[in-house]
Structure formats: C-alpha cells, structure tokens
Amino acid sequence: MSNARLDPIQAGLLSVKLRHLDAWNEKRREYAARYVAGLSGIDDLALPASRPWAEPVWHAFAVRVKDHRRDELQRALTAAGVGTNIHYPVPVHLQPCYASRGWREGQFPTSERRAIEVLSLPLDAMHTVREIDFVIDAIRKFFKS
C-alpha cells in the first residue's frame, strides 16, 4: 500500500518527467564541469568539489565567495540579469527554531562563515551553454574589477 500525497494529475506529469531525469542530470553535470573549468583560478572564489567515486546531479552549484564579497558579487550578477540564491543566510544553530538549544553566535564559526560566503549560481538542465558562459564571464569580470 502506498502513502503518496500526489493527485493523479501530478503523478501523471511526474511519470512523464521521470523519463527525462537521466538526460537532465547529465546536462547539469555538463554545466557544472563548465563552471569549474571557466571559474578555476579565481583566488577569491572557492568552487564545489566532488569525490572521484561520486556522480553528483548538481542540485545546486554553490560557490564560496571570500573576503566578504558575496553580497557584492550577487548585486553585480543581479545587475547583469543573472539570478542567484542564498539558501542558508542564517546558520542553522542561529535560527529561531533552535533558540531553545542555547547556541550562540561564535560557537560554530565554520557554519557562520559559510552563511556569509555561499552563493548558488544558476544551474538547471533547461539552461543553455550560452547562458552558463554568460554567468562565467560576468563572474570573471567582477573579480577583475
């Protein structure tokens, strides 16, 4: 017996989309590799890495922007027409739902640092090579200025 919460229309759409999943995941891997190749060598930008044995599907392509320039880069990309995302602007231990745990700022410095450094770049199978290259060029331009 199933405990799915999908109505028949949702289930029908997802069963059609499922046929494309492998191709979409491969496209995301291709674009992630393009980001890595195009953004390597920028000192103030740390790129995500994957283990040699792993085959990530790149749900997100989150970079770390050093020297407190993440928000500045995000503004520059927004001005260039590039959408980005900050998934966790507040570290988990400082979120209101964990207030009862008594955790304070400074107790998890790595988490706090990531909250001000991490920026997710556009990465979807529906993008084009031209769009990914546009993002790469905009980021390179930002770091050259």
pLDDT tens figures, 8-42: 899 899 999 999 999 999 999 999 999 999 999 99
Answer yes or no: is 10 within a domain: no
Tell me the pTM: 0.88
Answer yes or no: is 107 within a domain: yes
Which range marks the domain in which residue 140 is found? Answer: 21-144
| 75-125 pLDDT per residue, tens | 999 999 999 999 989 999 999 999 999 999 999 999 999 999 999 999 999
Answer yes or no: is 106 within a domain: yes
Rounded Cα gap, residues 111 and 93, in angstroms:
8
The pLDDT value recorded for residue 63 is 98
For residue 2, name the pLDDT band (cuts at 50, 70, 90).
low
User: What b/e readout covers 90-108, taking b as 16+ CB neighbours within 10 angstroms?
Assistant: ebebbeeeeeeeebeeeeb
Answer yes or no: is 62 within a domain: yes
Mean pLDDT of the chain: 95
Query: Quick one: which of 46, 48, 65, 66 has its CA closest to 57?
Result: 48
The pLDDT value recorded for residue 3 is 64
For residue 47, the domain's CATH number is 3.90.1150.10
pLDDT at 57 over 60: yes
Sheet (strand 118-121) strand order:
45-46, 61-65, 118-121
Count of structural domains within the chain: 1
